[in-house]
């Protein structure tokens, strides 16, 4: 990871920032693809009464040396300070902090990034991240140490700590270069963005759901559970999606979805599609129902990412097939 210096005023270095290319990842799938770049800030030590802090971060990514908004590959992002500043100095030594830079992409932008990766036969993707940092001097009040208040204060100590934030007018940081190895891009980024270089079958996402205008929300909920490692929850969400079709078709145990579909599509009694759809529906239902039965708990704990992805894709394929 290459560290890029952070300067104040006429050139005083106060810290550095770098992005770990091995920890870059993609999430959100094709519905909401997001590229996550983990930035590491290292602030140099400062005296206690001269604390410096990064109070907000603006960032955009681009493919060349045009580090202006016009050359950005996607919409810029803005990271404000929350309960704590994104990065700050301490008296005892250098201080490290991690900040997640999350860029929202469109499918076209994902494709553009991957095409750029293959330029001139190269497989390594090189990105540049332009950062606009707001840096401020921080003076803190209402501090209470072992010997009592650090100085007489006009504010009640019960109000808690608060700070005076005094922004500096000038700060400089050069674009951060990020070189993403092919293995990281293919294994950690592209699958999370919902795309692969080779596709044998393309499923329409999100498939239609009966009498439900927010199909994308239902499938995104199940997909997000996979991304977060909640594989049992994802499979359980698929059960709810299948239940919508059963309700829509007014299906029962005596007249399952396969039979209703066969009537609507005028399949013959011996049509192999009757048995195929019925078998698929039952098998997915058996797995998807497991999280709702106490005796199924030991099995649920063994669900893997591959299990959850399989059920999600099978559910999506069935929904696409059932849609009129």
So what's the pLDDT on residue 205?
Answer: 65
The pLDDT tens digits for 76-125 are 899 887 778 899 999 999 999 999 999 999 888 888 888 888 776 667 88
User: Half-sphere exposure of residue 94, counting CA atoms within 13 Å on the CB side?
Assistant: 12
Task: Report the DSSP beta bridge partners of residue 78.
Answer: 58
Q: How far apart are the first and last CA of the chain?
A: 52
Residue (of 158, 127, 125, 129) closest to 144 by Cα position: 158
Angle between helix 305-322 and helix 231-249 axes, rounded to 10 deg: 20
Could you count the other beta carbons within 10 Å of the beta carbon of residue 322? 21
The rounded distance, in Å, linking the Cα atoms of 318 and 86 is 45
Nearest in space to 249 (alpha carbons), one of 194, 209, 297: 209
* Structural domains in the chain plus CATH codes: 4-193 (2.60.40.10), 215-322 (no CATH)
CA-based nearest residue to 57, from 100, 19, 92: 100
SS3 helix, strand, coil % of the chain, rounded to 5?
A: 40, 30, 35
pTM of the model: 0.58
Better pLDDT: 146 or 24:
24
């Amino acid at each position: 990871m290459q560290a890029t210096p952070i300067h104040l005023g006429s050139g005083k270095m106060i810290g550095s920032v770098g992005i770990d290319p091995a920890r870059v990842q993609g999430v959100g799938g094709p519905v909401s693809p997001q590229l996550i770049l983990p930035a590491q800030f290292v602030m140099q030590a400062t005296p206690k009464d001269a604390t410096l802090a990064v109070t907000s971060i603006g960032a955009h990514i681009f493919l060349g040396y045009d580090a202006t908004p016009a050359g950005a590959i996607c919409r810029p992002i803005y990271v404000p300070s929350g309960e704590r500043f994104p990065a700050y100095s301490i008296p005892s030594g250098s201080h490290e902090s991690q900040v997640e830079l999350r860029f929202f992409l469109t499918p076209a932008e994902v494709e553009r990034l991957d095409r750029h990766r293959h330029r001139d036969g190269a497989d390594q993707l090189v990105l540049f991240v332009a950062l606009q940092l707001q840096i401020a001097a921080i003076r803190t009040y209402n501090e209470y140490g072992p010997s009592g208040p650090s100085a007489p204060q006009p504010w009640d100590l019960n109000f808690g700590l608060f700070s005076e934030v005094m922004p500096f007018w000038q700060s400089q940081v050069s674009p951060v270069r990020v070189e993403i190895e092919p293995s990281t891009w293919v294994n950690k980024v592209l699958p999370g963005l919902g795309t692969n270089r080779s596709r044998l079958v393309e499923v329409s996402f999100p498939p239609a759901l009966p009498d439900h205008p927010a199909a994308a929300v239902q499938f995104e909920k199940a997909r997000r559970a996979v991304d977060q490692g909640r594989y049992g929850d994802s499979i359980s969400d698929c059960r709810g999606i299948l239940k919508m079709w059963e309700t829509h078709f007014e299906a029962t145990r005596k007249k399952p979805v396969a039979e209703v579909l066969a009537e609507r599509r005028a399949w013959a009694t011996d049509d192999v599609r009757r048995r195929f759809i019925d078998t698929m529906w039952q098998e997915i239902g058996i797995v998807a129902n497991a999280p709702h039965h106490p005796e199924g708990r030991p099995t649920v704990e063994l669900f893997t990412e591959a299990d959850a992805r399989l059920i999600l894709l099978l559910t999506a394929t069935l929904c696409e097939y059932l849609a009129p």
